[in-house]
Structure 1
């Protein structure tokens, strides 16, 4: 019976499905025990991970029988793709399964930060009454949303935002200006700097590559409208965190929501730690009860098919 190692959390129903046909070793703590993980992989045929397990060449060398790596998500920067290709190891992400969860997170964050009221509960609870201060929030309708990276998740964001009456513009160097998705979502394709200059809200949906590292650097952040909002659910490292923190502290930006960071978990010494008007979440934009079920089920199906082929 072929063996599957699962090193991070996965929906129990999907794990049970795999156990019907495979020898499954499911231990979400393996991600923090690399030596034990390597030992488990010595006779494994598949490995299932989320974003924390580093699937390196050294890890692959410890798994001579490995056929497939299942990724409970879509980002692949924790997986050495060339090393997998050299060893004929298939990489199987859960493409599309968490798009709705991420899109809802983005739209929710945009609504909260545009209105500017939901981070002030402590003051009201303490007996203050900042009614006048909090009466100048902005509505989503009529605001401009720039979606940077127009893949499946970016397109889902565009559709939700369009339903709220937002004007959606976007940028994606991988897509032609006449690609059907622009027309289908009601978004307008633009050059990156042009889109940033017009945006009331900017949301990133790009992988972390050499070309996207610090995509929003100090220069581009300085070009944003005064009072703009930045949301990142894509990958840490695509925003210069020091420059973003400075823009928020100087009130050049009205707010930001970050679900991903250059270093995860976020360090206490991070420039983001004491920054105002900032929503910080621990890389969970794509995680809901429903999305975890979809992601886990899809990856289980794809890994089972790879091992049965």
Structure 2
């Protein structure tokens, strides 16, 4: 029996696609690495999400031929160890870009219009909140994008064309013609760009050559009353510096879909910071994006098992 071990839930269409092509999908009994290590056995393929796939799991999988990562970033997969054994590692680039971009825009709007405290006020019988609330109109404001990959480009298009925002971007690795095609001015000094920003949205990957962190210096550079959104990686924001900026009122608010530790401890001070919206890494969690990623994973599993080279190989 050809078996594909799956660490966390994926779209049902991909399960049916595997079965229709002679591969039996099997879920881990629990979405944690201990269960994966205990249950991987003689599976020839693995599909994993943000749990990743460790070197210890690889060592317990003698028949494994492919680890298909359900997403773009594969930092939690033991890539070098897999390559040493001739095991393919694949990913699903750009399948969730639009969904994550819409999440970033939604978070900007939620902070700007105080939607979370407004909801709470109505439920608590505080209708007078409407007289105290002072929202921010996005039209005409400057949005600074830190990174200009596929997600950031979608954000730029929505913000400029749909909301009438002025968009700037910083990315050392993206060619000039990409900036020109999207009508976004390129900035080469990130701190100078931050000084112009009313809103900042972070989009640099974890493997960037010069990973940028929103630290105390960066927050001090921002205009007072700016808004920060992070849908990229938890380590892109200095936790203590963010909390201080919120407590001091330097930021009007912030929204994070990614955190330094996921899930956070209930004692994490971020959970009690003012004017902060938190989400449990939901950027790619739309039915459309989840289906695209799962189907691409399933196709790459089938390609490897049939002796074909998959489309999106990750190499050490």
Q: CA deviation at 1:85?
A: 2.2
Aligned pair partner of 2:183 in 183, 186, 206: 186
CA distance in 2, matches of 1:161, 1:197: 19
CA distance in 1, matches of 2:131, 2:290: 41
CA distance in 2, matches of 1:289, 1:131: 34
Aligned pair in 2 of structure 1 residues 213, 182: CA closer, same or farther (>3 Å)? Answer: closer
Matched, 1:2 2:2: yes
Task: Give structure 2 stretches of 5+ with no counterpart.
Answer: 308-316
* Alignment partner, residue 232 of structure 1: 230
Contact 2:254 2:276 in 1 (8 A): yes
Aligned pair in 2 of structure 1 residues 127, 234: CA closer, same or farther (>3 Å)? Answer: closer
CA distance in 1, matches of 2:126, 2:79: 55
Contact 2:33 2:57 in 1 (8 A): no
| Greater shift in the superposed pair: 194-203 or 124-133 | 124-133
Contact 2:28 2:36 in 1 (8 A): no
Q: CA RMSD in A?
A: 1.9
CA distance in 2, matches of 1:14, 1:297: 5
* Alignment partner, residue 36 of structure 2: 37
* TM-score, normalisation: structure 2: 0.90
Contact 2:3 2:26 in 1 (8 A): no
* Alignment partner, residue 164 of structure 2: 165
Task: Give structure 1 stretches of 5+ with no counterpart.
Answer: none
Matched, 1:85 2:83: yes
* Alignment partner, residue 193 of structure 2: 195
Aligned pair in 2 of structure 1 residues 47, 259: CA closer, same or farther (>3 Å)? Answer: same
The 5 Å alignment of 1:236-251 reads 236-251=234-249
Contact 2:19 2:25 in 1 (8 A): no
Q: Deviations over 1:190-244 (max 9, x none)?
A: 1221222211111111222486667111221221111111111111111111110
**Secondary structure in structure 1 of the residue aligned to 2:227:** strand
CA distance in 1, matches of 2:25, 2:258: 29
* Alignment partner, residue 220 of structure 1: 218
CA distance in 1, matches of 2:192, 2:81: 38
**Secondary structure in structure 1 of the residue aligned to 2:270:** coil
Q: Which has the higher contact order (CA 8 A, sep 6+)?
A: 2
* Alignment partner, residue 256 of structure 1: 254
Contact 2:201 2:229 in 1 (8 A): yes
**Secondary structure in structure 1 of the residue aligned to 2:74:** coil
Aligned pair in 2 of structure 1 residues 65, 167: CA closer, same or farther (>3 Å)? Answer: same
CA distance in 2, matches of 1:51, 1:11: 15
Q: CA deviation at 1:160?
A: 0.9
Aligned pair in 2 of structure 1 residues 96, 160: CA closer, same or farther (>3 Å)? Answer: same
**Secondary structure in structure 2 of the residue aligned to 1:119:** helix
CA distance in 1, matches of 2:208, 2:70: 24
Contact 1:213 1:239 in 2 (8 A): no
The 5 Å alignment of 1:1-309 reads 1-32=1-32, 34=34, 36-53=35-52, 55-125=53-123, 126-134=125-133, 136-163=134-161, 164-176=163-175, 178=176, 180-190=177-187, 191-209=189-207, 215-309=213-307
CA distance in 1, matches of 2:172, 2:103: 24
Q: Deviations over 1:81-121 (max 9, x none)?
A: 22222222222111111111111111111122223355223
Q: Deviations over 1:29-78 (max 9, x none)?
A: 443252x422433312111000023x222221222222211111111111
Contact 2:139 2:164 in 1 (8 A): yes
**Secondary structure in structure 2 of the residue aligned to 1:272:** helix
CA distance in 2, matches of 1:148, 1:255: 18
